[in-house]
Structure 1
Amino acid sequence: MIANRRDDHVRFAAEQHRRPGRYNQFDDVSFVHHALAGIDRSGVSLATRFGGIEWPVPLCINAMTGGSAKTGLVNRDLAIAARETGVPIATGSMSAYLADESAADTFGVMRRENPDGFIMANLNATASVAQARRAVDLLRADALQIHLNAIQETVMPEGDRSFADWGPRIEAIVDGVDVPVIVKEVGFGLSRETLLRLQEMGVRVADVSGNGGTNFARIENDRRESADYAYLDGWGQSTAACLLDAQGTGIPVLASGGVRNPLDVLRGLALGACAAGVSGLFLRTVLDGGVPALISLISGWLDQLESLMTALGARTPADLTHCDVLVQGGLRAFCAERGIETRWLATRSRSYSIIHETIAGAR
């Protein structure tokens, strides 16, 4: 049953991303253009560091699949693309392996095809410490993702209905594994309150994974005979909203959910993310065009990221947090209701310049 469900997930997710592009709240974020801000491209680096983790680029192939013969082949292709482009990669949930060791190779193929890459194992919040260690050991994983998916489980016909012990289990796993733990949503967003709670648990990094990308409530509803949860289609917060909500929490955050192009990556970084993750679009690309198509797409994104950072005057991904951005539309309305000030973002480069001029003068 798990294998069939994984195949359904891939099929429905790919179908979602073959539909015409929809608005998401990244469209409410725009850069203020400063025509003389540009620098030399030779001085730009895509490397990013956060929570004890170092990546050569601020982009990853995020958690998607595994657990069946078909999805094992998808994981193989994704791992090859990650190897050839140097981007980090995450498996889908490894619960299938924990339930049946015969599924091990559908996940282990990632390490076999990408022996030196940064690979993240992925489990749900019901896992024990022993299970978390098994997942990390199978992949020789560099980090462990724990996904939060209460809404998906609620809509899933065979899903969990007990969520009260998720927090204690996450805290135990953080203490019980030897790799960084990244807690992520699956497309409904992490609120400020959730991020602060995760920080108290000792979680090093959070992936806000807001709505706007693959919609697992819709996927699970499509699997129901009556499709009676259609009204949850817009549940949750967008990735852009979550990033603004996260300001000042002190926990490094990643941006996934609704990332459609290099500009969305830049928007996420400018709003405080350390890196961005992409799932559905990369899945559709590898299914439709194979490994060469995905390698070409990712390589193109990395090239464009470097070019756009050059034009914006950002030497590193972190420097994008000093670029002026405008927050408008529905995203601005969300911020007003949550008490988040956004006007300062439109002129923050001035403060940054004054600080650096003061430091230079003091020297």
Structure 2
Amino acid sequence: MSDDVIRDRKDQHLDVVLSGGGRHARDAGFDAVRFVHEALPDLDHAKIDLGVDFLGRRLKAPFLISSMTGGPSRAEAINAHLAEAAQALGIALAVGSQRGALEGGADGGLNASLRDRAPDTPILANIGAAQLTQGVGVDQARRVMEMIGADALIVHLNPLQEACQPEGDRDWWGVAAALEALIRSLNAPVVVKETGAGISAPTARRLIGMGAAVIDVAGAGGANWGLIEGQRATSPADKAHALAFADWGIPTARAIADVRAACPEATLIGSGGIRNGVDAAKAIRLGADIVGQAAGVLEAATRSSDAVVEHFDLAIRQLRTTCFCTGSANLQDLRHAALQSP
């Protein structure tokens, strides 16, 4: 696929998301989860510990800036803002697909400058699972990690998006075997994530069996990449095809709970429709180790690193208050906070 096609597609993705399009028809399921309020917390709000270990580094708060975009020229400023904010906040950063940079196109700021801007935070590189049967292997995976000084590699699963994308990669025969071979050979942590349709408990068990270090459920409730592809399509048939999948997928809250029950020792990222710090607290209570957000912070990322910091400062404040009002001195306590009966 040509560099121009990839670059134009990434630009169109940004336009759809920034315009508010491509939102999932289902919610992420967090409204059905309600904490029992603690009216007499024996805590100092300011001393609540939100820190967590992730990929060998200590985060100040359990947040990951999830994968957004890799290709277009305007992504360079976005990625710079995200890296600077991640460093300032002490949270993790996952970049968007590096396919364009890998194939020799513009890197959109996904180069050594990213690590320079965020020397202390976990950074996750990113390739697509569909490319693993198209010549992308261990050498290429190491290259994308080296480009940005990454601590780990994300391999994203996006079958619905590819099926709805007019120029999508629909032949997934052999992808699972290629993924396992990569995980076994890379000698670096591999994070396997969905892109908005969720990962089921049986698939999570399978991935952990392959050697995946981290699962990101990326459930339904946020951006729907099938719909996003439908909105950028020019063919009425392509648009109608994508529209039928408006409510497709496993809601994030359910995916987190199911995967945690099936994989009790796994490191788990909860993402997909996280709106605020209260949702983040619910995701952690259901079993997530850290929480990812992408589309919700994209508009701030187009403006400045300060805007991204302000966005997450609010979410962190909301998470801290949720801990306060559940009597949770730290995230371990929050994982055992009482929930109201349905």
State the shift of 1:25 in Å: 1.1
In structure 1, give the amino acid aligned to 2:16: F
For residue 80 of structure 1, report the CA deviation from its aligned partner.
1.8
Letter in 1 for 2:221: G
**Aligned equivalents of 1:89 and 1:167: distance in 2?**
26
Show CA shifts across 1:230-271 (max 9, x none): 111111011101012111423221100000000000000000
Task: State how far apart, in whole Å, the 2-side matches of 1:49 and 1:76 are.
Answer: 24
2:79 is aligned with 1:69? no
Task: Decide whether the 8 Å contact of 1:38 with 1:311 is kept in 2.
Answer: no
Give aligned-pair identity as a percent.
Answer: 34
What is the one-letter code of the residue matched to 1:31? F
- Preserved contact between residue 90 and residue 121 of structure 1 (Cα < 8 Å): yes
Deviation string 1:304-355 (CA, Å, 9 cap, x unpaired) is: 3223212322222232221112474xxxxxxxxxxxxxxxxxxxxxxxxxxx
State whether structure 2 residue 311 is matched by structure 1 residue 297. Answer: yes
Matched, 1:88 2:92: yes
Task: State the 1:113 CA deviation.
Answer: 2.2
Counterpart residue number, 2:267: 252
Do the aligned partners of 2:55 and 2:151 also contact (CA within 8 Å) in 1? no
SS at 1:103's partner residue?
Answer: coil
Structure 1, unaligned runs of 5 or more: 329-363
Match of 2:336 among 281, 304, 322: 322
1:277 corresponds to: 292
Larger Rg: 1
Offset at residue 54 of structure 1 (A):
4.1
- Residues 1:58 and 2:71 are matched in the alignment: no
Provide the C-alpha distance between the structure 2 equivalents of 1:97 and 1:174, rounded to a whole number of angstroms: 21
Larger CA deviation: 310-319 vs 255-264: 310-319
Q: Is the 8 A contact 2:79 2:108 kept in 1?
A: no
Residues 336-355 of structure 1 aligned to structure 2 (within 5 Å): none
The 3 A distance-change label for structure 1 pair 252 and 326 is farther
Q: Specify the SS of the correspondent of 1:221.
A: helix
Q: Distance in 1 between matches of 2:22 and 2:228?
A: 14
**What is the match of residue 346 of structure 1?**
none
Residue matched to 2:249:
236
Is 1:106 the counterpart of 2:118? The answer is: no
State the SS of the aligned residue for 1:154: helix
* Displacement of 1:42: 5.1
Q: Distance in 1 between matches of 2:176 and 2:341?
A: 33
Task: Name the one with the larger helix percent.
Answer: 1
The amino acid of 1:12's aligned partner reads V
Give 1:116 shift: 2.8
Determine whether 1:184 maps to 2:202.
no
Aligned 8 A contact 1:67 1:97 in 2: yes
Q: Does 1:79 align with 2:91?
A: no
Letter in 2 for 1:231: A
CA deviation vs aligned residue, 1:102-139 (integer Å, no higher than 9, x gap)? 42353114223223322110111123111111111111
Total equivalences in the alignment: 326
Counterpart in the other structure of 2:218 = 209
Residue 62 of structure 1 aligns to which amino acid in structure 2?
Answer: S
CA distance in 1: counterparts of 2:230 and 2:179, whole angstroms = 27
The one-letter code sitting in structure 1 at the alignment partner of 2:318 is Q
Q: Matches of residues 3-82 of structure 1 in structure 2 within 5 Å?
A: 3-16=7-20, 23-41=27-45, 43-49=47-53, 54-82=58-86
- Separation in 2, partners of 1:176, 1:318: 33
Deviation by residue 1:133-191 (Cα, 9 ceiling, x = unmatched)? 11111111011111000000000011111112221222122222232111000000000
Whether the 8 Å contact between 2:74 and 2:108 is mirrored in structure 1 is no
* Alpha-carbon separation, structure 2, partners of 1:22 and 1:233: 8
**Residue in 2 aligned with 1:352?**
none
Distance in 2 of aligned mates of 1:95 and 1:300: 33
1:79–1:110 CA contact under 8 A, matched in 2: yes
Contact 2:22 2:227 survives alignment (8 Å): no
The residue aligned with 1:159 is 168
**TM-score, with structure 1 as normaliser:** 0.84
Alignment partner of 1:220: what SS? helix
**Pairwise CA distance, 1:197:** 0.2
What are the within-5 Å matches in structure 2 for residues 112-151 of structure 1?
Answer: 112-125=116-129, 126=132, 127-151=136-160
Q: Output the CA distance in 2 between the equivalents of 1:18 and 1:168.
A: 31
Q: What secondary structure, in the 3-state scheme, does the structure 2 residue paired with 1:276 have?
A: strand
Task: Tell me by how many angstroms 1:37 deviates.
Answer: 4.0
Residue type of the alignment partner of 2:254 = A
Shift of 1:22: 8.0
With 34-43 and 232-241 compared, the bigger mean Cα shift is at 34-43
Residues 74 and 128 (structure 1), Cα distance of their counterparts in 2 relative to 1, 3 Å cut: same
Find the aligned partners of 2:341 and 2:64 in 1 and give their Cα distance. 25
Contact 1:51 1:204 in 2 (8 A): no
Describe the SS at the equivalent of 2:325: helix
User: Residue 38 of structure 2 contacts residue 327 of structure 2 at CA under 8 Å; is this kept in 1?
Assistant: no
